[in-house]
Structure 1
Amino acid sequence: MSAGWSLWVMFLVVLNMGITLFLFLWGPRAKIPTLPDGTSGHVWAHGVLREGVRKLPRWWVVFSTSMFVVAFAYLYLFPGFGSHKGALNWTAHGELARNVAANDTKLVPLMERFRMYPVEQLASDPAALQMGKVLFEDNCAACHQRGAKGNVVLGAPDLGDNDWLYGGTGNDIITSIHDGRRGVMPPWASLGADNVKNLAQYVLSLSGSPHDAAKAAAGKPMFATCAACHGAEGKGNPALGAPNLTDHIWLHGGSVANIEKTIGEGRQGQMPAWSPRLSDDQIHMIAAYVYHLSHDADASSQ
């Protein structure tokens, strides 16, 4: 802290505490004119309510005095009065370092145990899941939501349905978190508006969703263009992140309007790489938690 800022902080502290202390000492001794009945003469509700004048209760005076003592003691012991470091030499950085060290002491043996197991096995460890859940909520919930149900607007997939764009093994999930993913669905507006609508109906037919059979038949030949990524049967391609079109899971919404927009305008989605922010151990924990979510939902549906 520069000398100028230090003096400014000291001035503000002295000013505020000085005014407060003055009012505290002067208030009980202030002479307030009163009427014979002990009121100030201020009335409301046509005289029904009258303002009384009483001395401050003793407990309030004692309590307030103790608070001033605590305040002065705090400014002596801890930093707060300009650049004064405090008699205890306490700092926020030092407190954080001590807390981190204490936390690491507890985490080290846990992490050593967790590293011994693959994601699939770690997904049944309650301690690992508890840690993974906290890390997920801190880092992933902004897009995937706290319940990992995804976000159609952002194109963030539901992580609890066991439907995977890039594969659902433990190593696949680790790779997605560590390196990130980038998916691109090119726009096909050049096919023409009618062909886009026909193709959308054919895509709906692949999953058995309600559709216009005539338009779907007209759109089927054009699906050959899409098969390069989604496969001839529309089953998707994990190597490219091309979704399976034969199920009822839609990354950007499964309405006719949403599908037509996806085909006509294309889509772009990016899963950022978390390796710059998270350690390999933390990524391992999140992967185990995500794996647990999908397979827990899978087991509960059987």
Structure 2
Amino acid sequence: MDDPRIDDLTGRETMGHEFDGIEELNTPMPRWWLITFYLTIVWGIGYTIAFPAWPMISGATAGLLGYATREEVAQDIADHDASNAALVDELLAVDLAAFDPQSDLHRYAVARGGAVFRAQCSQCHGSGAAGAIGFPNLLDNDWLWGGDLPAITYSITHGIRNETDLDAHWSQMPAYGDMLATDEIEQIADFLPTLASANNDTSAPGAVLFADNCAACHGDAGLGNRDMGAPNLADAIWLYGGDRDDIIESITNARFGVMPAWGQRLSEEDVRAVATYVHSLGGGE
């Protein structure tokens, strides 16, 4: 680096380096910029002293003013709850079996339930409630435990096959891999997709095995049994996949999906609201 020199044209000192004949002038920052910069430093120090700022082991410095946005948020929540108190009371008292979908209360329940669904249910059932492999589609009419509004409310409240609520829906399919030979399971897997056809071959080897091992729960025609939690096998809707390998896996090792009891996590009004929202999506009954 060359020693700084005075530029002949501007009379300013150079920075002492040169690039292809071009030298950089040592031009000081404008005074207004420096004043502003120093003021922001002073303001920043003052802010960290006056307001909560510095993280500590178990919290943060409270600041001289003791200001906290948590109190404002809590007040906003309290104001919101107070403004909707009458609607909440109506929602808790309404007969879900006769809930008028044209009422203002129903519209409120759908709006509230949609927010609850997006926060609590969409992780499994999807943001559009279309489900995924192992997580039911809530937009169709294939509801294992009942798809009317009271039934949906019960399922959300108590859950499915969980061990925290004694009133949870419960069913268990045996793992036929421990009971049947591999070729017998394959024969049943080949027969099951034909149940959706009115002309399925009831004399096929898989049909005989189905009648002996599966019909007791799923019915002779494979239409399922809601009281037992046995799904309909004749509607071409398969929770865990409907190709041959998926069906073989289901028969061999069985499935055991679990849904938590949301009545233990949500308020009763939120349970009723999200049930109303799910029912309003068009599936169910």
Pairwise same-fold verdict (TM > 0.5)? yes
- Measure the CA separation in 2 of the matches of 1:291 and 1:80: 46
Determine which of 135, 141, 157 is the counterpart of 1:178.
157
Matched, 1:94 2:81: no
Are the aligned partners of 1:119 and 1:291 in contact in 2 as well (CA < 8 Å)?
no
Structure with the higher helix share, 1 or 2: 1
1:230-265 CA distance string (max 9 Å, x none): 112111112222111110211101111111111111
Q: Who is 2:166 aligned against?
A: none
1:143-172 CA distance string (max 9 Å, x none): 1111111121xx110001121010011111
- Measure the CA separation in 1 of the matches of 2:15 and 2:22: 11
Cα 1:199/1:89, change in 2 over 3 Å: same
> Where do 5+ consecutive residues of structure 2 fail to align?
162-170
What is the deviation of 1:196? 0.6
Matched, 1:263 2:244: no
Letter in 2 for 1:194: D
- Measure the CA separation in 2 of the matches of 1:50 and 1:275: 74
Cα 1:128/1:59, change in 2 over 3 Å: farther
| 2:135 partner SS | coil
Letter in 2 for 1:135: V
- Measure the CA separation in 2 of the matches of 1:50 and 1:165: 80
Matched, 1:73 2:46: yes
Length-normalised TM-score, structure 2: 0.80
Letter in 1 for 2:208: P
- Measure the CA separation in 1 of the matches of 2:262 and 2:159: 7
Are the aligned partners of 1:122 and 1:128 in contact in 2 as well (CA < 8 Å)?
no
Q: Who is 2:15 aligned against?
A: 40
Matched, 1:145 2:126: yes
| 2:17 partner SS | strand
Letter in 1 for 2:276: A
What is the deviation of 1:73? 3.3
What is the deviation of 1:57? 3.2
Determine which of 171, 193, 199 is the counterpart of 1:204.
193
Overall identity of the aligned pairs, in %: 35
- Measure the CA separation in 1 of the matches of 2:109 and 2:77: 19
Are the aligned partners of 1:115 and 1:281 in contact in 2 as well (CA < 8 Å)?
yes
Q: Who is 1:112 aligned against?
A: 89
Moved over 6 A (4+): none
Are the aligned partners of 1:184 and 1:269 in contact in 2 as well (CA < 8 Å)?
no
- Measure the CA separation in 1 of the matches of 2:75 and 2:22: 58
Are the aligned partners of 1:77 and 1:86 in contact in 2 as well (CA < 8 Å)?
yes
Matched, 1:128 2:105: no
Which is further off, 172-181 or 83-92?
A: 83-92
Cα 1:140/1:73, change in 2 over 3 Å: same
Q: Who is 2:138 aligned against?
A: 159
- Measure the CA separation in 2 of the matches of 1:179 and 1:104: 25
Cα 1:112/1:43, change in 2 over 3 Å: farther
What is the deviation of 1:129? 1.7
Instruction: Give aligned pairs, total.
Output: 260
RMSD: 2.9
Length-normalised TM-score, structure 1: 0.76
Q: Who is 1:24 aligned against?
A: none
